Amino acid sequence: MKIKTLTSIILVGTLALGNSGCEETTDHSSRPQQIEKTIMFPREKFLTISAKEYCESIEKKLSDYIIVGLFAEYDDIQKVIPHGTEVIVDYDFDCAGTQYEVHRYETGTTLVPKSYLPDSTEIGTTRLN
C-alpha cells in the first residue's frame, strides 16, 4: 500500500519564503532535572514532487543544493534528516507486513542549500563537503 501526500504540492510556493518552520518538542520523561529538546522537521516539507520540479517552482538551480538520499524504517526518518535541510522531495511511504509484523519504510531526497553548510559539515558518517 502506497500513500502519497498530494496537499504538499500546494505548499511549494510557501516553502520559498524560508525554512524556519521547525517545531520544538520537549522531553521531560527521562530526567526531571535536565530538559532535552528535539527539533522535528515539519511534515508539510515532505513533498512528493521531484527535485527538478521543486527548484523550478522557486526559481533556483539544482546545483545550488547538496542532495542527500534518505531511507528510514518505522518512525526513524526524523533521526536521519541532515541539519539545514530545506525540503524533502521524492518522498514515498510504504507499509508492508503480515498480521504479526508490520514494516514501515520512508524514502526521499533532501535538498540542503550549499550556502548553509560550513566547510566540514558531516551527516552521520557521510561528509558533505
Average pLDDT score, the chain: 74
Quick check: 125 pLDDT over 50? no
* 69-98 pLDDT, tens digit each: 999 988 788 888 998 999 999 999 999 888
Please say whether the dihedral angle defined by the alpha carbons of residues 86, 24, 73 and 8, taken in this order, is positive or negative.
Answer: negative
In the chain, what is the straight-line distance between the N-terminal and C-terminal CA atoms, in Å?
A: 37
- SS3 (DSSP) at 52: helix
Is residue 67's pLDDT more than 90? yes
